[in-house]
Chains A and B, each alone.
Chain A
Amino acid sequence: MMTGSGPASAPHPAIQCENLTKHYNGVPALEGLTLRIPEGSIGLLGENGAGKTTFIKLVLGLLRPTAGSARVLGYDVSRPREALELRRRVGYMPEDDCLPPDYSAFDLLVRLGRLSGLPKETAVQRTHDVLHLVGLGEERYRPIGGYSTGMKQRVKLAQALVHSPRLVLLDEPTSGLDPQGREEMLDLIREIRAKMRLSLVLSTHLLPDVEKTCDRVIILRAGQLLAQGPLQELVRGVHEGVAVRIVGDRGAFLQKLQERGLRAEERGSEILVYAPSPPSQAQDDPETVYDIIVEAAAATGAQLRRMERPSRSLEELYLELYGEASG
């Protein structure tokens, strides 16, 4: 399993799971999931049957775990009372079409807002606000049955936001949308994230959606955790070192790096420079590693032509992890 660093030890994680397990009639849907995710935007990735929906239902407190525990925003989801309180503070946008055609978006949102505990007047006011925010201000009194797919997705998003949640769970929010609609929905999610300062979990199998909207990622496969951590670090591969290309005395350059405590090895025309293992606090800092490389080049008179961390796309990471897991 791959685990990125980052503020995992923050005092109030959005989601914290310890050995979270869910079986349906003995069949494992989620197996021993241990996570500690700080607030932010989190992409939940995995193929069909990976356990994404089970994870969301557990996080919402709709399912009781077979084993293990989960705390969301500090609430223990296995305790019914706490799960109820949690659901006041969590918004959920299901993947399926789930809107009654004979209701207007306005009526539906007021209703759901009130059910979340908002006073009636507040629910009405917030419904206006949220429907404007998602771009349905002009259409709010029309029956939902006459809406396009894109408008329905916006209503689904709006109902997840109307009660001012701290965490929003979005299950395939771009499902069924054309490319333009998809871009608009992703822009909307980014805008909402910025304006509302809330945490969101985006469950999808569309990797570009996660790349565009999330700063952390959880990758599941067959109910097991394959990887989790900050997206940038996972795709960059923080421990894989820095690729350096120089023109000059390679031997002296390598020796200088080793003197400064960095491990380096030649790979073709490049030199891969690693932070020491176990890493010291200072030398593990990427900026410090870059500084040492620059200093070593200067000291040995080498010309520095390239210096960067080898990175890959999320898709490459995903395929790599799935390939490893498949043996």
Chain B
Amino acid sequence: MTQHQQPEGKIYDLGYRPYEGRYVARWAAILGLMMEDLRRALGAGKSGKYKVLVLLVLMIELGIFLFFLLTSQLADAFGGGPGIPSWLVNPFSGFYSSIGLVLLLLSALIVPDLVCNDRRYRVYPLYLARPLYVHEYLLMKGLAGIGGLTLFALGPALLLFVGKAFLAPDALLYVREHLRDLGALLAAGPVLGIFYGSLALGISSLTSSRTYAAGAIIGLLFLLGLVSGMLLFLVGERWVLLVDVEDYAHQVKNALFGLMEPIEVSVMVQIEEDVVREEGVRLEPYSPWVYGLGTAWVVAVSWAAAWLRFRKEAL
């Protein structure tokens, strides 16, 4: 140090000072906290157990991703053909169908964690004592959950597309030839994220226990799938397809990919008074609009249920 140089330093006074600066816009504050909730939903700042569960789900998804990448490459290598199933011809739609269970498990993990704890530990009044409406609180939490699920759906699907493009002889040509798939892929991920996230939000708002909420989310969709399967076997009529609400979002996804196909089911048919036989029946799916409306209905009812529950709690 030369003679002319003065030592420099700053004094930080750890005392209380009134804030006289500007406040940020409410939407910006809500968006910022939604992103923070999204990070927490994906494991940041959470317990080791939570992180392991998220990682486990991610590993399952990675396995599905690799399966579709390899099998579709093999199918391409052998030149395809009329006997190749549609999920191999279009691995993106097949991938989305296969991660239905992953998204269900993930929604049962992250959405109750975002919503139930605030009521269980009565943190919710602390939020409402701030400049925040009930619907804004719900949007903050719900969109964080939906964002997490969409990331888990869309991220690997996009990676699959990029992987397929790079493995193709001409990547640009592949992209040009599969632009419709890319559009469908970009739309289907959010559709699935919104469907699973909203349904999980609606169910989670009914209880303050994460375990009950997770059980109810998984149980309800499994039960409806089971009932639908049994009714199809016993009745064999088309309307039974609508009992399985989880199928709504997947049929919307199929419609986006242009892959709505007849559904083959086994039906119990009575031949004589005491004789029944199992027969294969092809049921035509409903119009995409029906499934679109069904998805919108599930989403709307879920958000309405959550809003009513949280509004009641606020008073």
The chain A residues found within 8 Å of chain B, CB to CB, are 60, 62-63, 80, 84-85, 87-88, 90-92, 94, 96-102, 107, 111-112, 114-120, 122, 126, 128-130, 132-133, 137, 159, 161, 163-164, 192, 195-197
Asked if A99 contacts B24 (CB within 8 A), the reply is: no
Q: Is the CB of B17 closer than 8 A to any CB of chain A?
A: yes
B131 in complex: contacting residue of A87, A126, A197, CB < 8 Å: A87
Complex-state Cα separation, A130 to B121, whole angstroms: 23
| CB-CB nearest in chain A for B36 | A111
Residues of A within 8 A of B83 (CB): none
Per the bound structure, the CA–CA distance linking A46 and B175 in Å amounts to 72
Contact for A102 among B32, B46, B133, CB less than 8 A: B46
Answer whether residue B47 sits at the interface, using C-beta atoms and an 8 A cutoff: yes
Q: Chain A residues near B127 (CB, 8 Å)?
A: 112, 115
Q: Cα distance A129–B133 when bound, in Å?
A: 28
- Given that A98-B123, A164-B19 are contacting pairs, would A119 and B131 also be in contact in the complex, using a CB cutoff of 8 Å? no
Given contacts A84-B26, A88-B23, A133 and B16 within 8 Å (CB-CB): yes
Question: In whole Å, how far is B240's beta carbon from the nearest beta carbon of chain A?
Answer: 43
Besides A115-B127, A196-B18, A197-B18, 15 other CB < 8 A contacts? A62-B315, A87-B130, A91-B129, A96-B122, A98-B122, A102-B117, A115-B29, A115-B131, A116-B23, A117-B24, A117-B29, A117-B131, A133-B15, A133-B16, A164-B19
CB atoms of B131 and A164 under 8 A apart: no
Contact yes or no, A114 B126, CB < 8 A: no
Once A87-B129, A115-B33, A122-B21 are accepted as A-B contacts, the answer to whether A129 and B26 lie under 8 Å apart by CB is: no
Q: Are B14 and A100 within 8 A (Cβ)?
A: no
- Taking the complex as formed, is B290 at the interface, i.e. its CB lies under 8 A from any CB of chain A? no
Q: Does B227 contact A (CB under 8 A)?
A: no
Residues in A whose Cβ lies below 8 Å from that of B18: 164, 196-197
CA–CA, A126 to B24, complex, Å? 15
| Cβ B126 vs Cβ A112 within 8 A | yes
Q: Is B314 engaged at the interface, CB distance under 8 Å to the other chain? A: yes
Q: CA–CA, A159 to B46, complex, Å?
A: 21
- How far apart sit A80 and B45, CA to CA, in the bound complex (Å)? 34
A62 touches B131 (CB 8 A): no
Closest chain-B Cβ to A119's Cβ sits at a distance in Å of 6
With A111-B36, A196-B16: A100-B130 Cβ-Cβ less than 8 Å: no
Judging by beta carbons under 8 Å apart, are A163 and B132 in contact?
Answer: no
Of B19, B36, B118, B122, which is within 8 A of A126 by CB? Answer: B19
Q: Most chain-A Cβ atoms within 10 A of its Cβ — which of B14, B19, B29, B132?
A: B19
A115 to B132, CA, bound (A): 8
B60 proximal to A (CB < 8 A)? no
Q: In the complex, what's the smallest C-beta–C-beta distance from A108 to chain B, in angstroms?
A: 8
> How far apart are the CA atoms of A133 and B118 in the complex, in Å?
26
Kindly state whether residue B128 has any CB partner on chain A within 8 Å. Answer: yes
Q: How far is the CB of A135 from chain B (nearest CB, A)?
A: 12
B163 on interface, CB distance cutoff 8 Å: no
Question: Chain A contacts of B131 at CB under 8 A?
Answer: 84-85, 87-88, 115-117
CA distance A72 to B15 in the complex (A): 28
